[in-house]
Amino acid sequence: MALAKRRFDTLILGAGGAGLRAALQLSNADARVAVVSKVFPTRSHTVAAQGGVNAALANVVPDNWHWHMFDTVKGSDYLGDQDAIEFMCREAPKIVYELEHFGVPFSRLDTGHIYQRAFGGQSQNFGGAQAARTCAAADRTGHAILHSLYQQNIRSKTHFFDEFFALDLITDDEGAVLGALVLEIETGEPLLIEAKTTLIASGGCGQLFRTTTNAHINTGDGMAMVLRAGVPLEDMEFFQFHPTGIAGKGMLITEGARGEGGYLINKDGERFMERYAPNAKDLASRDVVSRAISTEVREGRGCGPDGDHVMLRLDHLGSDIVAKRLPGIRDTCKTFLHIDPVDTPIPVFPTAHYVMGGIPTDRHGRVVMPARHGPEEVVSGLYAAGECACVSVHGGNRLGGNSLLDILVFGRAAGEDIIGFLKENPNHRPINESSVDKAMARLKRWDQKGEGESVKEVRDDLKKVMENHCGVFRVEDVMAEGVNELVKIRERMANVRLSDTSRVFNTARIEALELENLVDIGMATMKSALVRQESRGAHSRMDFTERDDKNWLKHTLYFLEDDRIDFKPVRTKPLSVDSFPPKARVY
Amino acid sequence: MEADLEELPSIEKLRWQCRRGMLELDLILKQFLENNYNQLNYNEKELFCELLSQNDQDLQQWLMNKTSPADSRFLEIIDLINRH
Ligand SMILES: Cc1cc2nc3c(=O)[nH]c(=O)nc-3n(C[C@H](O)[C@H](O)[C@H](O)COP(=O)(O)OP(=O)(O)OC[C@H]3O[C@@H](n4cnc5c(N)ncnc54)[C@H](O)[C@@H]3O)c2cc1C
């Protein structure tokens, strides 16, 4: 059967906050937009964001975008690009008011203004008193944003391909992107979508790690597609871990548990945080607690039959306090562990939460890479926005509430830039058959029958390798060994077979394709972490414990070809204000 | 009965419907689908399929014991899931 084809002005891969915000901008400008999503749009991971979105509205305490900018640069451990950060913080109020206009029911103050809550890392006056910058729609901010944007897109006639899985970008010999090959999950049939511009908005890749807060859909597909198209990934060594996820499962046990007096113990019942942080103890900062837990486990003091976690005790607090102040945690424990934290300790381990790295873009959402004329040349026709992109506004570490802001600001900015591009490039470029053939071959490979390993076996091993060799505890020889392990996993991939090679709703085939993506992203992460010989933001090395601005104030770029690493400078010059020079990051 | 059963979506299709935006729901729904769905009677199966079309935020509230759905038809299937 001939390959089915469709044509659009713009193809958007992903229907989370980033993809939907971009789509809306384009549909409202009368561009023909297709949005492809592997799950129904409102089941995108953005729905899980309950905390809120940052904007310096100054509704509760004095605030302005410049203070927000300072906090973001500092939070990034000075690795964020200051032009993009200035742009994001200045756009933030507009973005929030737009959301309000789209129907997001933000919580309000008695005055009628949008309520704002205080989050860690927010300050007034460049590092002064606590600011309150996070706007929330009760505890369903992500849900409200996603549903409002979806409704707006339906009204604007955006074309949705729901439950279609994007396989590969189609490129021509000059490297311009011509669209993508996608797969209809229900029928198992491929479809070629030609587009003048393609925006990747496929979200994060937390499924790389055994313990993660991310939903199963977060397998970094768009990032891996970009790697296969010859474009590098930026700063992949920066992955934010939360110290207390439920061991082996990943869901968050919020910091509130320790804030209320909960504490961690190892298998000997020792309150080990006293050794790592004699003053702050269990309330030390996230990275300190994460590393302490990891060290206890590595040194054989972990709990459980496999010694692979520690325990969080709340049982001394009394049922009143737990029921009143920590009801969410109690629900989570009862549902997933069938225990009540009122009388039983909770098994916990650091859980992978957010990827700061991703597809390198400028502040217009255009994908950029080193080429003939410099380190940031535009890849024609290709855009990226959201968690899959690295603008970079989060640098070495993301602040709470800045991710929803990032996806909306740069989703919108990408939409705007695409409108200009479409005016200047009104025609489709001719399709490149050899690129289509290559993408088809990768899909057909999963029709191979016979004996082999299962997807699950290899995936479980990959996640374990990532957790053990490239988790919160990073050191040269352990990561070098991790690279070797990943090489072996890559080799094993050739022998993986599906027991079911049918077409219709073959979710096993989708999982195989996702695993292929994860393996490449795993290598990008491990290689980048190995090369960066310093500790900065979320990347902490036991063998290089200090930040090293002289040698490492630069972005890492990983290329799939030969697993090559390159670097590019950090953009330290903002758009209109003075640079914030690197300072020690103390809170 | 045979004819009725054919109207329900295939288990493969349901497996994909259990892919959600939140890890908590992925785990609860997938586990129930794989371990318990086949033992349900036709009405219960139908309700489960309908439940999957509800939004993630509500499902999270119902399945993690916080609130009851306004639509009381779902009470039974939610109770079944919560007991497994
Ligand atoms: C538990 C949790 C709580 C959080 N809370 C907050 C918070 O309070 N504030 C904050 O700012 N941030 C928060 N974050 C982070 C934030 O939610 C995410 O970074 C953000 O929602 C990502 O949005 P996105 O649009 O980039 O991608 P997503 O919302 O993840 O959407 C990705 C889209 O891509 C599609 N897709 C992926 N691969 C393919 C493929 N191969 N083919 C087709 N489609 C594909 C998916 O179907 C989906 O539609 C939280 C994260 C977690 C895990």
What pLDDT was estimated at residue A286? 78
**Lowest mean per-residue pLDDT among A120-134, A157-171, A218-232, A315-329:** A315-329
What distance in Å separates residue A215's CA from the closest CA in chain B? 4
Site to probe by mutation for ligand 1, drawn from A193, A239, A390, A404 as the one with most ligand atoms within 8 Å of Cβ, is A404
What is the Å distance from ligand 1's center to A25 Cα?
19
Q: What are the backbone dihedrals phi and psi of residue A33, each rounded to the nearest 5 degrees, phi first?
A: -115, 130
What string of H, E and C letters represents the secondary structure of A384-415? ECCCCEECCCCCCCCCCCHHHHHHHHHHHHHH
Question: Which chain B residue shows the shortest CA-CA distance from A327?
Answer: B66
Burial of A293 (0-12, 13-18, 19+ CB in 10 A): buried
Query: What is the 3-state secondary structure of A454-484?
Result: CHHHHHHHHHHHHHHHHCCCECHHHHHHHHH
Classify strands A190-200 and A374-384 as parallel, antiparallel or unpaired. parallel
Q: Is the CB of A216 less than 8 angstroms away from the CB of B19?
A: yes
- Please, what is the Cα angle at A85 between A11 and A387, to 5 degrees? 40
The pLDDT score that the predictor gives to residue A214 is: 97
- ipTM of predicted complex: 0.93
d(CA A46, ligand 1 centre) in Å: 4
Q: Say whether B21 and A336 touch across the interface (CB within 8 A).
A: no
pLDDT at A24: 98
Chosen from A37, A147, A331 to mutate, greatest number of chain B CBs within 10 A: A331
| Best of A387, A390, A397, A442 for a ligand 1 pocket test (most atoms within 8 Å of beta carbon) | A387
- HEC sequence for A151-196: HHHHHCCCEEEECEEEEEEEECCCCCEEEEEEEECCCCCEEEEEEE
Mean pLDDT of A474-484: 97
What is the chain A residue with the closest CA to B10? A505
Distance in angstroms between the alpha carbons of the first and the last residue of chain B? 26
Residue of A nearest to B23 (CA): A215
Q: How does pLDDT run across A82-141, given as a tens digit for each residue?
A: 999 999 999 999 999 999 999 999 999 999 999 998 877 899 999 999 899 999 998 889
A4 φ, ψ (degrees, to nearest 5): -70, 145
Distance CA A411, CA A365 (A): 7
Looking at per-residue pLDDT, the higher value among A4 and A583 belongs to A4
Residues B54-82: tens digit of each pLDDT: 999 999 999 987 788 988 899 999 999 98
All residues of chain B having their beta carbon less than 8 Å from the beta carbon of residue A186 are: 13
Atom index in ligand 1 nearest the CA of residue A252 equals: 1
Q: pLDDT band for position A21 (50/70/90)?
A: very high
CB-closest option in A44, A216, A331 to B26: A216
Looking at the CA of residue A141, tell me the nearest atom of ligand 1: 8
Whole-angstrom Cα distance, residue A82 to residue A36? Answer: 32
pLDDT tens for A154-170 read 999 999 999 999 999 99
Name the DSSP letter for residue A369.
Answer: E
H or E stretch at A40: none
| pLDDT above 80: residue A462 | yes
CA separation (Å) from A170 to A219, A317, A510, B45, B75?
Answer: 20, 58, 19, 42, 48
Distance from CA of B41 to the nearest CA of A (A): 23
Pocket of ligand 1 (CB under 6 A): A 13-19, 36-39, 41, 44-46, 48-53, 142, 165-166, 201-204, 213-214, 217, 221-222, 353-354, 386-388, 401-404, 407
Query: Sign of the CA dihedral B13, B16, B21, B23?
Result: positive
Whether A571 is catalytic is no
Residue A171 has what pLDDT?
Answer: 98
The pLDDT of residue A358: 98
State how far Cα A472 lies from the chain centre: 16
Whether B5 has a pLDDT exceeding 60, the answer reads no
Residue B29 CA, chain-centre distance (Å), reads: 6
> Are A147 and A40 spatial neighbours (Cβ–Cβ below 8 Å)?
no
Quote the percentage of chain A above a pLDDT of 90.
Answer: 87
Query: Lowest-pLDDT range, A69-73, A319-323, B12-16?
Result: A319-323
The kind and range of the H/E element at A368 are strand A366-371
**Encoding tokens for residue A58?**
């100054």
A11 three-class SS: strand
A400 neighbors A410 (Cβ within 8 angstroms): no
For atom 33 of ligand 1, which residue has the closest CA? A14
Could you tell me the CA-to-CA distances from A10 to A25, A139, A439 in Å, in that order?
11, 33, 20
Residue A265 in 3-state DSSP?
Answer: strand
Question: Rounded distance, CA A489 to CA A481, Å?
Answer: 13
Residue B1 pLDDT > 50, yes or no?
no
List pLDDT tens digits, range A528-576.
999 999 999 999 999 999 999 999 999 999 999 999 999 999 999 999 9
Q: Please answer whether residues A511 and A501 qualify as being in contact, where contact means their C-beta atoms are separated by less than 8 angstroms.
A: no
CA distance linking residue A452 with residue A217, whole number of Å = 25
Mean pLDDT of A396-405: 94
Virtual torsion, Cα A137, A139, A143, A146, nearest 10 deg: 40
Inter-chain contact A505–B64, Cβ cutoff 8 Å?
no
Measured distance CA(A156)–CA(A163) in Å, rounded: 20
Q: How far is A420 from chain B, CA to nearest CA, in Å?
A: 33
The answer to whether B57 contacts A215, with C-beta atoms less than 8 Å apart, is no
> Helix, strand or coil for residue A381?
strand
Using DSSP's 3-state secondary structure scheme, residue A130 falls into: strand
Which among B12, B24, B55 has CB closest to A507?
B12
| pLDDT for residue A473 is more than 90 | no
Return residues 244-303 of A near B (CB < 8 Å). 249-251
Express as a percent the part of chain A with pLDDT over 70.
99
pLDDT on residue B2: 47
A39-43, A280-284, A306-310, B35-39, range with the lowest pLDDT: A280-284
* Inter-chain contacts counted by CB atoms under 8 A, chains A and B: 82
pLDDT for A259-301, tens place per residue?
A: 888 999 999 999 999 999 888 888 877 778 898 999 999 899 9
Would you say A72 and A128 are in contact if contact means Cβ atoms under 8 Å apart? no
Chain B residues touching chain A at CB-CB below 8 Å = 10, 12-13, 15-16, 19-28, 55-57, 63-66, 82
Q: Beta partners for A35?
A: A12, A160
Contacts of A550 (CB under 8 A, 6+ apart): none
Q: What is the mean pLDDT of residues A331-346?
A: 93
Contacts 24+ apart (CB under 8 A), A97-103: A99/A53, A99/A145, A99/A148, A99/A408, A102/A148, A102/A149, A102/A151, A102/A152, A103/A148, A103/A151, A103/A152
Q: Give me the residue from B16, B19, B66 closest to A331, CB to CB.
A: B66
Chain A residues within 8 A of B25 when measuring between CB atoms:
215
* Distance between CA atoms of residues B38 and A409, nearest Å: 45
Mean pLDDT of all residues belonging to chain A: 95
DSSP E strand boundaries for A26-174: 33-37, 53-54, 116-117, 134-135, 159-162, 164-171
**Does residue A377 register a pLDDT over 50?**
yes
Catalytic residue among A210, A228, A286, A291: A286
